[in-house]
A = this chain, B = another copy of it.
Amino acid sequence: MKKIAVILTQDYEDSEASDPIERLKKEGMDVTILAPEKGETYSGKQGEFEIEADLSIQEADPENFDALLIPGGHSPESLRLEKGAVAFVEHFVQRSKPIAAICHGPQLLISANGVEGRRMTSFESIRIDLKNAGAKVLDEEVVVDCNIVTSRTPDDIPAFNDMMIEVFQREPALT
């Protein structure tokens, strides 16, 4: 059973958390919600979804997870300031473990030095930041480059979810 970490804080984009999480569970994956405070409730910026944190980011050991989901909204930029969040993401980057990031999710990958030379997409307003960080930026509903899956907006969720599941289900690379 694949163990999936979802990293978020307040004001994520509601459907970019709720829909992929629902899909991961439907596929039988073991989903853990990581946020700054264990047991606290985190709300989407549209006020349409809320979820309790299973673990604090500080306490979580990235070795215990097979893959990482980063929902968008204002959450990824806030997590750049959260002690331990960038280090948690760096683990997945450095081990080439699967990462799915949508909308503003790639902001956290920039901070984790995970985008240079990668084919990626994101919400339009931060594509210049991805490009300046060395990514090859595309305007497509879903882009996959080795272990990294990215999409642009909530409209892309169906394609994002399909590709996320495909990449998360792969056998681990021999390293």
Q: Which positions in A face B, CB cutoff 8 Å?
A: 74, 77-78, 80-81, 110-111, 124-126, 128-129, 132-134
Docked-complex contact A78 and B110, CB < 8 angstroms: no
7 new A-B pairs (CB below 8 Å) besides A80-B125, A110-B132, A132-B133?
A77-B125, A78-B125, A80-B124, A110-B129, A129-B132, A132-B132, A132-B134
Docked-complex contact A77 and B126, CB < 8 angstroms: yes
Distance in angstroms from A137 CB to nearest chain B CB is: 13
Closest Cβ neighbor of A133 among chain B residues: B132
Residues from chain B with Cβ under 8 Å of A110 in the complex: 128-129, 132
Top 5 nearest A-B pairs (CB, nearest first) are A132-B132, A129-B129, A80-B125, A132-B133, A77-B125
Residues from chain B with Cβ under 8 Å of A132 in the complex: 110, 129, 132-134
Residues from chain B with Cβ under 8 Å of A126 in the complex: 77, 129
Closest Cβ neighbor of A129 among chain B residues: B129
Residues from chain B with Cβ under 8 Å of A129 in the complex: 110, 126, 129, 132-133
- Once the chains are docked, how many angstroms separate the CA of A144 from the CA of B129? 23
- Once the chains are docked, how many angstroms separate the CA of A103 from the CA of B129? 16
Which has the most chain B C-beta neighbours within 10 Å: A77, A111, A124? A77
Closest Cβ neighbor of A115 among chain B residues: B132
Residues from chain B with Cβ under 8 Å of A128 in the complex: 80, 110-111, 133
- Once the chains are docked, how many angstroms separate the CA of A170 from the CA of B111? 38
Closest Cβ neighbor of A79 among chain B residues: B125
